[in-house]
Amino acid sequence: MLKVAIFDDEFIVIEGLKKMIDWSKYGMELVGTAKDGNSALSLFHSEHPDIIFTDIRMPGIDGLQLIEKVLAEAPETKCIVFSGFNEFEYVRRAIRLGVIDYLEKPITIPMIEEALQKITLRINQEKEMSELRLRWDRNRQELLQKATLDLLLEGKEAITRWRESFGDEAKQVIGITVIAISGERPSLQLNASFKAVPVWNGTTQILVLFHFENNPEQLSELLIEWSEQEEVTIGSGQTYLNITDISKSYREALHALRYGRFLDSKGWTRFEEVGKNNKIPEDLSAQEEAILYYMRTGNKEGLLGQLDKYIQWLDSQKLNPDMMESEFLKLVYLGMEVVKETGEETQQTGYYPQKDIRELNTREEMTTWLYSQMEMMIELINSSKKSNKHKAVEKAKEYMEKNYHQDITLQEVADLVGMNPNYFSLLFKEEMGLTYIKYLTKCRMEKAKVMLKEGQKISEVSEKVGYLTYRHFSEVFKKYTGMTPGQFKENK
């Protein structure tokens, strides 16, 4: 029901309206009355009425001052004023303030009922308009989401449709970043520098950030703060200035997310930190990518299980022998690249898988050969892990502990130990139980604690441990220690 309040210093007006109007007939409820402006304002704050009838002249603040305060706080409130015969100037001011009707005294029941009918009609019209606007906005959003998904999947072909759906702001977009999300998407508070469009690709939540300003530091802070709100994993692609490169950022975001999941790493995984083997194509199927991940993690049981699924999938495609041979060779060459990431070689010179497979005649022979090649390669990977793991990880730890104040990248540390970034990060997580970035954060936070205990300024400590902004440092420090740098410093 709509709430109604009446403010008038005449007892007879208030009592007459209370007893002689059937408020429920109009879907309304009289929630209170007041005889002066100050009491009226208090009632407004406590009851939040939808409709106010008020006299212009009242003790305390007058009706016009009251309306001005009410509409400043709740502009949707419907205000009707009572006025005396010679108060035309007051009425003009009231209309300018936004009252929807005025009634000349003496007030009669038919006048009030006519006003109530006007109000009801107006509220219903506004409600209809609001619902229409809501449906329109929802349809626009759905069209924009569809156009954005098409842009991710089709690239240049979908640009015209996307521009039409995005509207005039499309001309102001100067960059794009795609984010893939695992888990329930927390709310993202954006400023005018970005516009976010959420889409669903059938398996993964995607958030496309359209940039209106070139401010990578602001984006970094935003994603760090966002990813730490909830226990979620997000993967981000690189930021591209050309909208036609959105498909690249999309593939990179999915790659980073999958990598974060494999490392069981909550929070934000950047494509730049994941590293990439440039000899492995970007357009691998989910089946092929899963096989490579099992190889990198040295999970033989998982690899063989995934190979079973892969063979079943190939069988369902009803490929001819030449195409089956091509698919098997492709997988073997991909496996060889993963082995090379460890610094090992599959075999001495003279290993030609394409020659070996052509000597096989039946599907069973080819399948057996594929399994044997993949098993041989994962044994090499696991052997390399045993011999190289401790030495490589120790060298990386020593480097990070010495250079924690710099912007150390995964690629930089992987190059130091002579490994592919993908392989090194998996190796590091397996040995340390922490991802490389979490270990680096641990180093920085422990150093920061020491400096804060020594009495150094928080801003100086932030810079000394490698954070560009105090805000970012403070958020990470609080998550690590459970208190802000200032609180930690006070409790030293």
Query: Tens of pLDDT along 19-38?
Result: 888 888 888 899 999 999 89
To which H or E segment does residue 11 belong? helix 11-20
Residues 253, 207: Cα–Cα separation, whole Å = 10
Residue-range domains of the chain with CATH = 2-107 (3.40.50.2300), 147-274 (3.30.70), 286-432 (no CATH), 436-490 (1.10.10.60)
Cα torsion through 266, 275, 157, 168, rounded to 10 = 60
pLDDT in tens, the chain (492 residues): 889 999 988 888 888 888 888 888 888 899 999 999 899 999 999 999 999 998 888 888 888 888 888 888 888 888 888 877 566 666 677 777 778 777 888 888 888 888 888 888 888 887 877 777 667 666 777 888 888 888 888 878 888 888 888 888 888 999 999 999 887 665 666 677 888 888 888 888 899 999 988 877 777 777 776 766 556 788 889 999 988 899 889 988 988 887 777 666 667 888 876 666 656 666 677 788 888 888 887 888 989 999 999 888 888 877 777 888 888 888 888 888 888 877 666 555 456 788 888 888 788 888 899 999 999 888 888 887 776 667 788 889 999 999 988 888 888 888 888 777 777 877 788 788 888 888 888 999 999 999 998 888 888 998 899 887 777 788 888 888 888 888 888 876
Express each pLDDT in 133-185 by its tens digit: 667 666 777 888 888 888 888 878 888 888 888 888 888 999 999 999 887 66
Query: Rounded to whole angstroms, how far apart are CA atoms 20 and 23?
Result: 9
Say if CB 98 and CB 80 are below 8 A apart.
Answer: no
Report d(CA 53, CA 112) in Å as an integer: 10
Kindly report the pTM of this predicted structure. 0.51
Q: Do 425 and 436 touch, CB atoms closer than 8 A?
A: yes
